[in-house]
Structure 1
Amino acid sequence: FEHVVFFLVMMHSIETAQEPECARGKRNGNVMWTCYQEKDNRTCYEKSFSYDSRQNKCIQIPYQGCGGNANNFPSLSDCTANCGKGLTSWDYKLMQYMTEKKRVNCTTPFHSSMNDGKILRFHYDSKSKKCRRVQVSNGDGYFPALRHCLAMCNTTEMIPRRCLKPTRNGTRPVKGWTCHFNAQFKTLFCSKPTNLQK
């Protein structure tokens, strides 16, 4: 029954502009909150993932909502795309396809003036010999994930510095927000009473 209630609440969520407030300088821009208003209460929730270099994989962390560092990602796929270097059999097939079709290579120059889109891809910078995260308008010609760029090009950096930072669970929000980590859903829920009187 709890699963059904949770699902219905999430499906009927109305995103609001106000998310949990952090102490000055402690807001983490990598955290993605989803918020909804329910009678006299505003509730927000989020999930966070961090790259664990010892295990060479991304793991979910019990983040507290504020602070921490750049090694914090809103989804497993975002963390893996940015930090993961482990390749699956699907990755090898994809790289073979990219090579055969000459869709992506390590010598394609990146022109920022021609690529101002919202698609996240990775580009190999042959001058610095590093794979760089880029926002493009057309994803063709760029690596879909960091691990593909690292595997196919002669990089000097195997894992970005962001991913090598230690995992930090952060601190709790302030100004009346109360939070709890729901172990069943592996989600941080924060709520705050609101005054809806006119």
Structure 2
Amino acid sequence: MKLPLPRGRWALLLPAFVGAAWLAAFGDKTPSGADRRDLAATPSVARPASAAPVPRSVGRPAPAPAAVAIEAIVPRSELLREGASARVDLFSPVDWTPPAKPVSAPPPPPSAPAVAVVAEVPLTLPYRVIGKKLEGEQWEVFLERDGGSAIARNGTQLEGSYRVERIEPPAMLLTHVPSGRSLSVAIGEAR
């Protein structure tokens, strides 16, 4: 068995544990000096708290004990209100639906029609350019997205969102089909 503590700690803890166990088993369990005399002098019958001596202050008379009022026991019939039944049906049906909310007046119509302001969000191509090649007289651009690849040529559409308008290194011109906006993507110099 491998010990989780370093050897130095075990060297200190093991003798302390053995010593504590020896004291618990064989140590003297009788009270010391003054406590022994008190045990011999006290009777084995417990005294009520009211008979215990009250400590006195030097030069002052002891305060009178406080009077404790004990209330009389009242019969159950007197505790119940008149007309209240002593039995309560714990399993009676209860309606837990919340009360209906008050109906408020509908909000007034807007005074002037609000014009929606559409902020121009810059277009970004969801593809990454991984290369290009001149095939005959036409350029092809190789694109990658989420582990898949695509080849872009003039006039092709990429997932129906972007249409390739023109490929002329160092740029490729695309049109975002839903908005009709143009996007220029750098593809590198022709070599």
TM-score bracket, shorter-length normalisation: under 0.3
Larger relative contact order, structure 1 or 2 (CA cutoff 8 Å, min sep 6): 1
TM, length-normalised to structure 1? 0.21
Structure of larger gyration radius: 2
